[in-house]
Chain A
Amino acid sequence: MDRDCTFELAEQARDATARSAALRIVGGDTKGFLGRPVEGEPLEVASHRGVLRHDPAELVITARAGTPLAEIEACLATHGQRLAFEPPHYGAGATLGGTVACGLAGPARAWSGPLRDYVLGVRLLTGDGRVLRFGGEVMKNVAGYDVSRLLAGSFGVLGVLLEVSLKVLPRPPGERTLALEMDEATALARLAELGHGALPLSAGCWADGRLYVRLDGSETTLDAVARRIGGEIVRGSQDLWTSVREQTHPFFAGGEALWRCTVPPLMPPLPLGSAPLIEWSGLQRWYRCDPDTPLFDQAAAAGGHATLFRHAPVGAEVFAPLEAPLLRLHRQLKRVFDPAGILNPGRMYAEL
């Protein structure tokens, strides 16, 4: 049921700020595993839901933050449109607000750009109960600082998303997935080579000795490009990409720590003993290995960074450390929007 809960949410925030009581922001509770644990009273956003505007000619959708991601995607699909960054849901209840707050993008990311590229505007509830509007529903907007894109991947530490406007794009006329047998090093080189030209790649994945690439375009284009690339056509490839995006692929099974490394696409394989699952253009690599593995350092040395994505032990740091001046700025910005420091304290960093 569509409902506007702005008033109740603002009351809760004001009350919590007055008591200096921490709040743990919860949407569909599908991504609570990601980030450092937050001690606090739950602030439930899922009831604040409903698609507010979607006009296919505008390429924009605006919805309340508690709207299920599935509802947004279904609404777009009826008009032949989609969220080009293919966000992961990680569960049936995933909401728009949680998706934007976590800032995650799926298989298309290397070609579509990150989630924040699609954020056009937000309504934001601050820690002390102010309701602010930034950005808008138009493609170009440079009035005021771009606070709305700053919130993509902010994990609720600056404010509670109330509404989000996202740019949407038409679905491609067709897609095709090809599979090629090869080892990790060859796959990385091949991905770099394929990604370099103007080929219509829209996803890449290497797992279990096979490289999968997905192409977008008209049938004629797909035929021509598929001949150039070779390999075999994967039937029912949607299941493959869904399993990679949603981490239901067997690689992600079990309780061993899951690391996400984003590194320069051509970085040679890391000598970690276990084979990764590689995504995008080689830029995103998943590893199953001990949480004590010095992956923060190894990824940084390679020109990237690591996140301890799932199954982090209690007390472990999850996100790569920030340099001191940058962390100080993060804290100063938090004070602007959450003066009492009550929103998701510690979710990203202990000091934030």
Chain B
Amino acid sequence: MTPDPALVRDLRAVLGDEGVLLSAEACAPFECDALTAHRRRPEVVVLPRSAEQVMEILRACRRHSTPVVARGAGTGLSGGALPVEGGVLLVLSRLDRILAVDPVRRLARVQPGVTNLDISTAAAPHGLYYAPDPSSQVACTIGGNVAENSGGVHCLKHGLTVHNLLELRVATIEGEWLTLGSPIGEAPGLPLIALLTGSEGMLGVVVEVTVRLKPVPERVELLMAAFDDVRRCADAVGRVIASGIVPAGLEMMDAPAIRAAESFARCGYPLDAEALLLCELDGLAHDVESELRAAESLLRACGATGLRVAADAAERQRMWSGRKSAFPAVGRLAPDYFCMDGTIPRRSLADVLEGIAGLSRAAGLSVANVFHAGDGNLHPLILFDAGRTGEVERAEQLGAEILELCVAAGGTVTGEHGVGVEKLGPMCSQFGADELEAFHAVKRAFDPEGLLNPGKAVPTLARCADYGAMRVHGGKLPFSHLPRF
């Protein structure tokens, strides 16, 4: 499809020739985000350098009734930045300036294209940092973090993106500026800042973000506990938290993940363990020391077969390196993998892991588990070979079954990766028609013509009717009253 010449003329008037990409070669790098199974080459890519240009682009798109998809670094795992047909891809990576770091008020004001890690780097000279740390933090942008409400390994204690935002400046598709929240964290009216966070680019385009900075903790300790049984390890997670300890991070890996990580990163993981817990504690020196002693004796009582405390920062980094490289490490075990993202109540960890093992055997596909146990946020990695006929479909089917298991346990189909295009089907098992209709109505309140990232995040009822036809749940067909087409 060739883009509308009148639209291209308007976009060039805003950005010059250099800021508007049209050729197939120039647009190709933007055909997917980190969910590479879904690709679509955009017809037009725009690269604004200022918030005002973003606003002019949105106004032009609205004049021409053209859909527009915002994109940061393209590290998203759910296809949220997948280009849409006949649409403009709005790449925000050139809005990459840190506008202010205020050590007294402990905040940073940045443009959306600034990377997550660059905020902490800029804050470091003041003894401050930005807490949410998704594994892609070297590359992912704060704008994308806001769109996905990104998490990371330190969420239980330090919060998700939504807990660390103070103010958003947003351009609407209606051509208006919104300031949501405030640098002091209190603002009159409804807390729309929370509604915008995690809205996957469907409600507005964030052009400026003010984040809260936290003081770098005085002391950090990392404790590694090995278990010869997955269930005992999973149960230890709940015991640690019920005891009153809130770890900065509490990460779990199963045997396939441990072995893959060890052979990839040589990080000193015990190869004979069936499960591994990494428990990070941070805070004031004395408090961390007493929590560490309590955690050690508790984990021993829970049946840990081996315990090791990182001796220094270097060893701590080495022990984390295995966890942090677990995805690429597992990725070496098979030509392809899907990373799932369900969250469940912690009490169900052991049962759901057993359930996943059963589904994995039935599907004939291996699954490795490496995840944020403290948050109950699972990341089952489904290994497959796209070159084998039917294996992609089988892997997708297994993924959907795992997510349904999470919903059945009282959880959610996505903890931190977003719905995007990937989990539109599973959304139908989590929400009923009334909730989905309310989501569509919320979108219309911001975007009456449906131009912002259309087709993502919230499935249509028709799609759910089809999905329900594929998956009869407990003998009950969801959306059975809807016509099928």
Q: Which residues of A contact B (CB under 8 A)?
A: 55-60, 79-80, 103, 113-114, 116-117, 126, 130-134, 136-147, 149-150, 152-154, 157-158, 169-171, 192, 196-198, 200, 217-218, 220-221, 224-225, 262-266, 283-284, 303-305, 307, 319-323, 325-327, 329-330, 332-333, 335-337, 348
Contact = CB atoms under 8 A, between A and B. Distances in A.
Contacts of B458: 144-145
A140 B377 contact: yes
A126 B442 CA distance: 14
A136 B410 contact: yes
Given A139-B155, A146-B195, A303-B184, A329 B244 contact: no
Contact of B184 (A116, A158, A262, A335): A262
Given A59-B241, A116-B194, A142-B415, A220 B286 contact: yes
Interface stretch (B174-182, B252-260, B305-313): B174-182
B442 A336 contact: yes
Interface stretch (B91-99, B159-167, B314-322, B390-398): B159-167
A143 B341 CA distance: 11
Contacts of B189: 319, 322, 326-327, 330, 348
A126 B343 CA distance: 27
Contacts, number: 235
Contact of B414 (A131, A133, A142): A142
Nearest to A133: B435
Given A138-B415, A305-B182, A147 B195 contact: yes
Nearest to A195: B106
Nearest to A148: B194
B190 A143 contact: no
A124 B414 CA distance: 21
B291 to A, nearest CB: 9
Nearest to A134: B435
B188 interface: yes
A136 B186 contact: no
Contact of A265 (B105, B148, B290): B105
Contacts of A79: 242
B257 to A, nearest CB: 19
B104 interface: yes
Contacts of A147: 195, 438, 442
B108 to A, nearest CB: 15
Contacts of A117: 159, 162-163
Interface string B127-167: 00000000000000000000011010001100110110000
A57 to B, nearest CB: 4
B182 A329 contact: no
Given A138-B411, A149-B162, A221-B286, A319 B188 contact: yes
B286 A140 contact: no
Given A305-B188, A336-B441, 5 more contacts: A58-B347, A138-B410, A152-B194, A171-B244, A319-B189
Interface in B62-76: none
B377 A136 contact: no
Interface string B423-449: 100010011101110110111111000
Interface in B163-213: 163, 172, 174, 176-180, 182-192, 194-195, 197-199, 202-203
B187 A137 contact: no
B343 A132 contact: no
Contact of B191 (A141, A153, A221): A153
B194 A142 contact: no
A320 B187 CA distance: 9
4 nearest interchain CB pairs?
Answer: A149-B194, A57-B238, A140-B415, A332-B445
Nearest to B343: A138
Contacts of B233: none
A198 B186 CA distance: 22
Interface string B222-264: 0000000000000000110110111000000000000000000
B71 to A, nearest CB: 18
B323 interface: no
B134 to A, nearest CB: 12
A149 B162 CA distance: 10
B347 A55 contact: yes
B104 A57 contact: no
A225 B285 CA distance: 12
Interface in B249-292: 283-284, 286-287, 290
Contacts of B446: 329, 332
Contacts of A80: 244
Contact of A142 (B104, B290, B417, B439): B417
A328 to B, nearest CB: 9
Contacts of A221: 284, 286-287
B442 A114 contact: no
Given A153-B190, A262-B184, A145 B238 contact: no
A333 B442 contact: yes
A149 B191 contact: yes
B195 A149 contact: yes
B214 to A, nearest CB: 9
Contacts of A266: 104-105
9 contacts: A57-B346, A58-B347, A126-B438, A136-B410, A149-B194, A220-B286, A221-B284, A224-B286, A264-B184
Contact of B176 (A113, A262, A325): A325
B43 interface: no
B375 interface: yes
A139 B373 CA distance: 11
Contacts of B174: 325
Contact of A200 (B198, B284, B431, B439): B284
Given A264-B184, A325-B177, A333-B190, A143 B419 contact: yes
Contacts of A142: 148-149, 198, 412, 414-419
B464 interface: no
Contacts of B182: 303-305
Contacts of A158: 190
A327 B190 CA distance: 10
Given A138-B376, A263-B184, A198 B284 contact: yes
A320 to B, nearest CB: 4
Contacts of B192: 150, 326, 329
Contacts of A58: 238, 241, 345-347
Given A58-B345, A141-B412, A147-B438, A154 B190 contact: yes
A140 B184 contact: no
B445 A333 contact: yes
A264 B107 CA distance: 12
B218 interface: yes
B86 interface: no
A147 B436 CA distance: 12
B431 A337 contact: no
B372 interface: yes
Given A143-B414, A149-B162, A116 B343 contact: no
B215 interface: yes
A304 to B, nearest CB: 6
